[in-house]
Amino acid sequence: MKDVEGKVAIVTGGASGMGRIIALRLVNRGARVAIFDVNEEGLKTTAAESPQITPLRCDIGDLADVQAKVGQVESELGPVDLLVHAAALMPAHQLIDHSHEAMERLFRINYFGTTYMVRTVLAPMLERKRGRIIAFGSIAGHALVPHMGAYCATKSAVNTYLEVLQNEIRDSGVKVQLVCPPAVNTPLIDQSLNTDSPGSLRNAKQSGRLSDPEKIVDAIDKGVEKERDIIYPGEARFLMLWHAFAPRLWWKTVLGFEK
């Protein structure tokens, strides 16, 4: 994300966490950045860091709102050159306790919110035959844990959607990159810790083993620069391979934290 001088970018989830870090780095590199979030206080705080940041309240689970806000960005700032899609929800519940309504909302935000954002910016990018989309899936879509079945399912769907999309449009001039981070010490994690969080995540928080968001963004920067299709920052690749090649050991380990 270094060649952004004079470019127009949208960062979802820009009010906090890695979205905020990325938005601030982009403006420091000369981009004009619109940040989307529903956290109005966080939007104001982030926007106060630079006049190059335009804060917009946007519910990414509402297609009409997404289209309206992207249209506003195009009208006020210009064509969108870069989308960094980091917004998500991360509640934790055992599947037997997770209501249908809550799971539907989770899919609407995490999965359909991704498709709404991507499709809305992608069409004009394809017409111009240039642009970049960096979207956050999660290692949770590969390395599954108890108490987060619905979240893991949404991220499995996001991972699949983006990997297929990047290959379907590979020769279009538009680059799509998927980021699969591990558990990172951001406000998103607190959504899980404040509900029925898996023991492994509580242990990681208490022991200080959650990934540092600045270091994860550093790794994402390097992956983007190397044009990697799928970026596994921090310990993410190790976790994916562990679950893939030793699933019994994986489940024995993560379930051990529930005792």
The CA distance from 16 to 11, in Å, is 11
Mean pLDDT computed over 54-74 = 98
Both tokens of 202, joined, read: 């509580």
Among 142, 158, 136, residue whose Cα is nearest residue 250: 142
The CA distance from 224 to 1, in Å, is 6
Quote the pLDDT of residue 70. 98
Indicate the CATH number for domain 8-256.
3.40.50.720
pLDDT of 1 strictly over 80: no
- pLDDT confidence band for 2 (50 / 70 / 90): confident
The CA distance from 158 to 118, in Å, is 11
Percent of the chain with pLDDT over 90: 98
Mean pLDDT computed over 24-35 = 97
Q: What is the pLDDT of residues 123-174, one digit of tens each?
A: 999 999 999 999 999 999 999 999 999 999 999 999 999 999 999 999 999 9
The CA distance from 68 to 135, in Å, is 20
3 touches 225 (CB < 8 A):
no
The CA distance from 70 to 77, in Å, is 10
The CA distance from 201 to 145, in Å, is 9
Burial class, 255, CB count within 10 angstroms (exposed 0-12 / middle 13-18 / buried 19+) = middle
Among 150, 140, 151, residue whose Cα is nearest residue 95: 150
Q: What is the pLDDT of residues 81-105, one digit of tens each?
A: 999 999 999 999 999 999 999 999 9
Quote the pLDDT of residue 203. 95
Mean pLDDT computed over 59-66 = 98
- 232 in active site: no
Question: What's the predicted TM-score (pTM) here?
Answer: 0.96
Which of these is catalytic: 111, 116, 151, 232? Answer: 151
Q: What is the pLDDT of residues 196-207, one digit of tens each?
A: 999 999 999 999
